[in-house]
Amino acid sequence: MNLGIFLEQVPDGDGPWWLMLVQGLEWTLAVAALAWIVAFVLGSAIGVARTTDSRWLVRLGNAYVELFRNVPLIVQFFVWFFVVPGLLPPVKRWVVSVDPITYQLITSVVCLGLFTAARLAEQVRAGIQSLSAGQRSAGRALGLTQLQTYRYVLLPMAYRIIIPPLTSELMNLIKNTAVAYSIGLTELFFRTREMGEMTFRYFEAFGAATAIYVAIAFAANRAMALVERKVRVPGYIGGAK
Amino acid sequence: MNNSARSALALLTFALVTAPAAAQTLTGTLKKIKETGTITVAHRESSIPFSYLDDKQQPIGYAMDLCMKIVDAVKAELKMPALKVRLQPVTSSNRIPLMQNGTIDLECGSTTNSVERQKQVAFGPTYFVINVTAAVKKSSGIHALADLNGKTISTTSGTTSVPLIKKYEKTKNVAVKEIYGKDHAESFLLVADDRAAAFVMDDILLAGQIANSRDPSAYRIIPESLRQEPYSMMLRKDDPQFKALVDRTIGGVMKSGEIERIYAKWFTSPIPPKGINLNFPMTPAIKEAFASPNDKGV
């Protein structure tokens, strides 16, 4: 093993290999952050929909979760990148007109966001259903609308309860960004493979990538642990120490 | 020492050691084969027509035919007619590590013999010479690489085409937008779907994709070259006995003219599984490689 390889210039590139990996890391983090926002907003909405009184909303939410959770992520990437523009002429016209990188970024964020939303929806549903039925009834008894009951009574507790699985989802999302290599997004795993193929120093390249993924997933884990400590409610899980 | 001097020396060494080879102690790959009773031949799964799986999932192809000549020579050399041949599929990412760690003994695919790779592995005689160029739709009106300026082009990630495009952009002052497919089929799909104007890759691989496409007559390969690259079978580095056997066997096939028949079988005739014909006659560079077998890398 020779770490000097990271200082060597990329053939006909614009810098040394370590810089290429760092640029890949930037894409990884950007995609993960944007996809997390999509997943959190959409996942919460669908999770809530699945616990409402409306049978129609529950079914729609269930269908969404089953669809996105049951199709392998790499297949979803393929569908968003190749099949959707192929089937929808307006999308195709737009795809051809924008820079390929823009479309790769949007595809990755949409694909990972929708995929992770399905998983988040399941967590949110579980969190809400873990609360005693009395809480919902109490909200109603106070004269709150269904929306207000969710906003002020159910969700504040449900989110606190599901912080540990949410942490797992965030870490999964960060690691899942690696699949974006399959549509040519130059994220960390793409750069790692490229470095391996061009220098044949697979051990160093993948060693570095492993260390970076572990480091960012661990950082995400610690950040979520901090959130967990900050928002805990005395008397509830994690709050009674 | 330059490459031709090195191959000359290899030939000389070979000439000196051939006669008493049987009596000589075996080393490297030949020793390993003798001890284990097995030779592991690595193949690709979709490098048409070099090394790919047919409809019965058996590896076949031009490189496989040549490698089987080597296997026969090993059987004769070691006097092991019952030698077991293990077939191991490899990818462009794992072929070099698997060669280095001893999992595979001989790789028969579409591997470019490069000076950079020669630091890690060794190569047999060049059996094919490709040109890196571009496939475009005839309707695109693109006739030369320079016409690609300002266009989006596709290529397959992790291939040697990537730095070549960057170099071309810098030296010719051409700006293109690159989009990467994870395999050749996806890169080609981007052109077929009009998402990219051209697919930049080895000409023979482009011919394969075009021959397989829905309408082969809609595409054209630009008669220019970003670079010529020799393809060869990959061996372990620093293994003079096995290398000499490979050079002698494949050199013999080339000198005897048998190569013409094997070439025609794969490049100018219908090939399994779909019976497509690549229509790829020998280029001058390929004829040259057959006339004087060598393992020069690029």
- Residue B4's pLDDT band, with cuts at 50, 70 and 90, is low
Q: At what angle do helices B62-78 and B240-255 cross, to 10 degrees?
A: 120
Q: Give residues with Cβ within 8 angstroms of B231, minimum separation 6.
A: B50, B63, B110, B111, B112, B113, B126, B127, B128, B129, B130
- Tell if the CB–CB gap between B177 and A13 is shorter than 8 Å: no
Residue spans of the domains in chain B: they are 3-127+232-291, 130-228
Summarised one tens digit per residue, pLDDT across range B172-199 is 888 899 899 888 889 999 999 999 999 9
Range B84-90 average pLDDT = 96
ipTM, two decimals, is 0.76
Per-residue pLDDT, B7: 57
Range A153-178 average pLDDT = 94
Query: Higher pLDDT residue, B168 or B66?
Result: B66
Query: Higher pLDDT residue, B19 or A180?
Result: A180
Total beta-carbon pairs less than 8 A apart between chain A and chain B: 66
Chain A residues lying within 8 Å of B93, measured CB to CB:
193, 196-197, 202
Per-residue pLDDT, B47: 85
Q: Which CATH number fits domain B3-127+232-291: 3.30.43.10, 3.40.190.10, 3.30.70.1450, 1.10.10.60?
A: 3.40.190.10
Render B188-207 in DSSP notation, one character per residue. HHHHHTTSSSEEEEEHHHHH
Dihedral over Cα of A5, A10, A15, A19: its sign: negative
B130-228: CATH superfamily: Periplasmic binding protein-like II (3.40.190.10)
Give the Cα separation of B74 and B69 in Å (integer). 9
Same CATH topology for B3-127+232-291 and B130-228? yes
| Cβ atoms < 10 Å from Cβ of A144 | 16
- CB A173 within 8 Å of CB A116: yes
How does the average pLDDT of chain B come out, rounded? 89
Range B7-25 average pLDDT = 54
Q: Does CATH place domain A3-231 in 1.20.1440.230?
A: no
Closest chain B residue to the Cα of A93, Cα to Cα: B195
Dihedral over Cα of A101, A103, A108, A113: its sign: positive
Chain A residues lying within 8 Å of B159, measured CB to CB:
197
Interface test with B, best of A93, A97, A182 (most B CBs within 10 A): A182
- Residue B107's pLDDT band, with cuts at 50, 70 and 90, is very high
Range A150-160 average pLDDT = 93
- Chain A CB within 8 Å of residue B101 CB: no
pTM over 0.80? The answer is no
Question: Quick one: B25 exposed, middle or buried, by C-beta within 10 A (0-12, 13-18, 19+)?
Answer: exposed
Per-residue pLDDT, B279: 84
Backbone phi, then psi, for A198, in 5-degree steps? -90, -30
Per-residue pLDDT, B2: 54
- Tell if the CB–CB gap between A85 and B159 is shorter than 8 Å: no
Summarised one tens digit per residue, pLDDT across range B215-248 is 989 999 998 899 899 999 999 999 999 999 999 9
- Tell if the CB–CB gap between A82 and B186 is shorter than 8 Å: yes
- CB A204 within 8 Å of CB A98: no
- Residue B20's pLDDT band, with cuts at 50, 70 and 90, is very low
Dihedral over Cα of B22, B28, B31, B34: its sign: negative
- Chain A CB within 8 Å of residue B46 CB: no
Give the CA dihedral B286, B291, B292, B293, nearest 10 degrees. Answer: 60
Given a cut of 80, whether residue B48 has pLDDT beyond it is: yes
Chain B residues lying within 8 Å of A92, measured CB to CB:
193-194
Give the Cα separation of A50 and B121 in Å (integer). 58
- Tell if the CB–CB gap between A12 and B170 is shorter than 8 Å: yes
Min CA distance, B234 vs chain A (Å)? Answer: 14
